[in-house]
Amino acid sequence: MSASPAARTVAGDGRRLFVTASLVYAVCLNPLLANPMTWSSLDAAVSLVETGRWQVTHGALYGDMDVALAGDRPVLGPPPGLAVVLAPVYLAWRGVVGRVDTREAFQAFHVFATLAVAAVASALAAGEVAALAGWLGASRRGRLWAALLFAFGTPAFLFSTRLFKENVAALVVIVAFRLAVTPGASRRRLAAGLLAGGAGLIAYPAGLGAPALALVVAVREGGRRLAAFALGALVALAALAAYNAALFGRPWRFAYATYLNLPEAAPSVGWQWPSASVLLNSLLHQREGLLLYSPFLVLGVAGLGWAWRHGRRVESLVTAAFALALWLLSAAWLARFPTSFTGARYLFAVVPLLSAFAGPVLERVGPWLRWTLGGVSVALTYLVVQAGHIPDPAPLVYAAKTFVSGAGLPVLFKETLPAWLGVETLHTAVSRGDVSAHDVVALLATRAGAWLALGEALVALLAAAVFATLALAIRRLWSSSAAGLTPAAEPAAR
């Protein structure tokens, strides 16, 4: 039988969301490799392919940050999942480009890995958000609002332009959630368990979703399906236990105690009572505060209540519990490092779920509130994305400065493109430590200043051409959809 028009619309929207997000992520790419976790994960993948052993062999390139010791062997400090995902990506890269063994080669491989893994993960997650929002009862309008705000109004945007593990783990979590709640045989619940447990192999906090989803399966379908789910989750848990035992001596012992370079001293690693400052910072701090940069997520919280009232009680309950557990446990873990981390990244595993729960609410609130929360979320998120790596202790101020000096262009155009072309611009001049904005203003009256302005104009012209082409492509992509934006929501699957 052919699929229903509604089903074809949902599938078509998923493809359009993926292409749209992927194109935008590509032009907003940040080629700079600065994150230590990214460095060590890339290194572990490269070293695994080149040596056949689980180790890192290029730690000197990044100061051995996020590197631990297994005996006397340097190994990856963060969870192993991202490096495992990167290994086949590196095999493909190696077959075409060659080995990676220098800083420049790692930078180039990082760009490829960002496009192949990070951008794809966030784009796929946007489609999953739309699908889950539809299952919760949102119409097409609500589904698209939820998916687009997730894609461009949450850290998913930032994580797509530089390689991180959090959006990959979050994709696995939301796929596991959908497999756990949509109709299917026990194999579907087994896969949900494998993914829910496997998310913890990519980012440890994401593994907290496994017991939450186990409760969903138990309440909805009983012991037999729960057994299938639990079997899958236990396979992932056993893999993590075996990994820890092989490298660090005990199944419950993680890499952190043997880190070579850990902020504020490795001997201080441990748990405390949740820190109030971390609890607050993870939501409102100007460095990645989740609700500060993505205020539309408050509608996701409201959506939990809406879902509860409309029969999705266990699903809304476990999502709320998952979010609360991430918030409290991250604050307890980071209490020893209050000046090093805000904790916002640790909450990201629940962001796709909250975005999906926001879907039914987004279509029911007034246009002013919807556009205000959505507009602020996208604007502030893009402000951080276009700033690139932010070393400043006042990231919002720094991001605003780079927005002004770089004419709002993303890093690829205002920094990478001038370097490739060998031209100086107003932005590249201001970004140098020995040049102030006042110096650049004074330069404008000189011949050198004219060349800076000309370089800025050239970059802006090239960027305008790219963005115009991108806008036309996206417009054509979405205009091919004959369905309107407000059909009735499909009946929710029980």
Tokens 């991180």, residue? 164
Calculate ∠ Cα 73-76-81, nearest 5°: 140
The predicted pLDDT at position 436 comes to: 62
Give the CB-side neighbour count of residue 158, counting CA atoms within 13 A.
Answer: 27
Confidence of residue 293 (pLDDT cuts 50, 70, 90): very high
Average pLDDT of the chain, as a whole number:
89
Percent of the chain with pLDDT over 70: 89
Q: Which residue has the tokens 């998913």?
A: 156
pLDDT, tens digit (0-9, with 9 covering 90-100), for 357-403: 999 999 999 999 999 999 999 999 999 999 988 877 788 888 888 89
In this prediction, residue 78 carries a pLDDT of 94
Q: 342: which 2 tokens?
A: 């805000």
Domain spans, the chain = 5-380, 406-479
Question: What's the whole-model pTM score?
Answer: 0.92
Answer for the pair 62, 36: CB distance below 8 angstroms, yes or no.
yes
Does the pLDDT of residue 307 top 60, yes or no?
A: yes
What is the pLDDT at residue 22? 98
Q: Is the pLDDT of residue 265 over 70?
A: no
pLDDT digits (tens, 9 = 90+) for 389-399: 887 778 888 88
Per residue in 180-209, pLDDT (tens digit) is 999 988 999 999 999 999 999 999 999 999
Distances in Å between the Cα of 486 and the Cα atoms of 9, 130, 141, 143 are 12, 14, 6, 10
The predicted pLDDT at position 448 comes to: 74
What is the per-residue pLDDT across 407-425, written as a single tens digit (0 to 9) for each?
Answer: 899 999 999 999 888 888 8
Residue, of 452 and 161, whose pLDDT is higher: 161
